[in-house]
Amino acid sequence: MDTSELRDIETRADCERLVRAFYGKAMEDELIGWIFTDIAHLDLDEHVPVVTSFWETVLLGNKSYYGGAFGVHARIHEKAGLKKAHFERWLILWCRTVDELFDGERAAMAKVHGLRVANAFHGRLEGYPGPDTPDEMAVRQVGQAE
């Protein structure tokens, strides 16, 4: 791919363009699309400005995002049982979208931070119950009679 005509991520509008293009791919993807459409019931009009603010904060330093995304992802995991393959596919689509639209230092940062987010969320969710986790898990002390 010839990236000589691509510029770097410079504005909130650039962040929004990236986010919209990414969700266009992700929601149609055969591996993860159903998570966005059937589980999260993602409303792009509501979601895109929030995620744009996240990336604007990370990439441009404009502190427009306040909040935490982990809780939302934990609730999705409870319903869908998010696996490593889901996060890997998210990252592939994210990096591919960045590369299609932008080239430069911030574009590279977007990919690196995407990797950090995917790894952090996957790592944290491994300890959370998913849809296949029994409702009641028996916990007892060592030596305790059953």
- Residue pair 56/110 in contact (Cβ under 8 Å)? The answer is no
- Split into its structural domains, the chain has a count of 1
> Is residue 7 included in any domain, yes or no?
no
Helix ranges restricted to H, 27-83: 33-34, 44-60, 70-80
Give the number of other Cβ atoms within 10 Å of residue 103's Cβ.
Answer: 19
One-letter identity of residue 128:
Y
Is 141 within the bounds of a domain?
Answer: no
pLDDT at 64: 85
Domain that holds residue 78: 12-125
Asked if residue 117 belongs to a domain, the reply is: yes
Q: Say if 42 falls within a structural domain.
A: yes
Q: What predicted TM-score, i.e. pTM, was given to this entire model?
A: 0.84
The token duo for 125 is: 């969710």
Say if 136 falls within a structural domain.
Answer: no
Q: Is 14 helix (H, G, I), strand (E, B) or coil?
A: helix
Task: Output the pLDDT for position 65.
Answer: 84
Averaged over successive runs of 10 residues, the pLDDT of the chain (146 residues) comes to: 82 98 97 96 94 95 85 89 95 98 98 95 81 48 47
How open is the CA angle 92-108-44, to the nearest 5 degrees?
55
For position 78, which CATH number holds?
A: 1.10.490.10
Q: Is 22 contained in some domain?
A: yes
